[in-house]
Amino acid sequence: MNLLNLIKTYRYFLLIILFDLIITIFHPDTGLTIFKYTAGNFAEMLAIIPPIFLLLGLLDVWVPRETIIRYLGEGSGLKGIVLSIVLGAAAAGPLYGAFPVAAVMAKKGTKYRNIIIFLCSWATLKIPMFLFEMSALGIKFALTRWLVNVPGILAIAYFIDRLIDAEDKAEFYRRQMANP
């Protein structure tokens, strides 16, 4: 019964693994490469995700909603925008690490536009990544990209904020609040 539930929960994942296995039967080299990369992805995820979720749990328990609202909520203005950029840029790791963080930020009352700003900043403004980009592609390339990205992110966040109606936003916040 319990096993059945587990299989049901992971059915899509299991289907992909089945697909990988079929490939392995017909093209062993390709199949093994897929498994090697998949295992590598899991290793990377497991390396970066535990501290993120642990911090999220701590944040959820210790930081009062009022604090987040004051710094990132409605009426946080320019301060909230800057803080969202800084929080995103200070991060490292793939974009999927940003999703759960943004979800808890929403749960605590972060303004919708600031959530999107945070998400986009994490995607493309990451400072550790910037340093690496600079050494590989040159300071002109990296710096131009970074500087153009800041207003670009603000514009993208503005449009998304305008284009998603109040009802969808309310539903998004409701879903985050319903999470444990």
Partner 1 sequence: MFTLFLYLLALGGLVFSFIKDRQKTKMAVMKGWKAFTNILPDFAVVLALIGIMLTYLSPHTIATLVGKSSGFWGMLASSIVGSITLIPGFVAFPLAKSLLDRGAGIMQMAVFVSTLMMVGVVTAPLESRYFGKKETILRNSLSYVFSFIVAIIIGMVVGS
Helix intervals (H) in the chain = 2-9, 11-26, 28-62, 65-72, 77-89, 98-107, 112-124, 127-137, 139-163, 166-178
- Which of 68, 87, 89, 120 forms a contact with partner 1 (CB under 8 A)? 120
Cα–Cα nearest to 120, from 84, 148, 147, 144: 84
Which window, 64-72, 78-86, 122-130, contacts partner 1 (CB under 8 A)?
A: 122-130
Closest to 56 measured CA to CA, from 119, 115, 117, 105: 105
Give burial (CB, 10 Å; 0-12/13-18/19+) of 86: middle
Per CB under 8 A, which of residues 130..159 are in contact with partner 1?
132-133, 136-138, 140-141, 144-145, 148-149, 152, 155-156, 159
Candidate ranges 12-20, 65-73, 74-82; the one touching partner 1 (CB under 8 A): 12-20
Q: Is 33 in the site for partner 1 (CB under 8 A)?
A: yes
Contacts 24+ apart (CB under 8 A), 52-58: 52/93, 52/97, 52/100, 52/101, 53/100, 56/100, 56/101, 56/104
User: Nearest distance from residue 29's CB to partner 1, in Å?
Assistant: 10
**Region binding partner 1 by CB under 8 A among candidate stretches 42-50, 70-78, 80-88:** 42-50
Binder to partner 1 among 45, 69, 83, 86 (CB under 8 A)? 45
51-70 residues near partner 1, rule: CB under 8 A = 51-58, 60-62
By CB under 8 A, the residues from 73 to 112 that bind partner 1 are 92-96, 99-100, 102-104
Q: How far is the CB of 138 from partner 1 (least distance, A)?
A: 7
Q: Which two tokens stand for residue 46?
A: 């497991």
Q: Which stretch, 8-16, 72-80, 81-89, contacts partner 1 (CB under 8 A)?
A: 8-16
List, in order, residues 6 or more apart from 171 with CB less than 8 Å away. Answer: none
Q: Which is nearer to partner 1, 82 or 148 (CB)?
A: 148
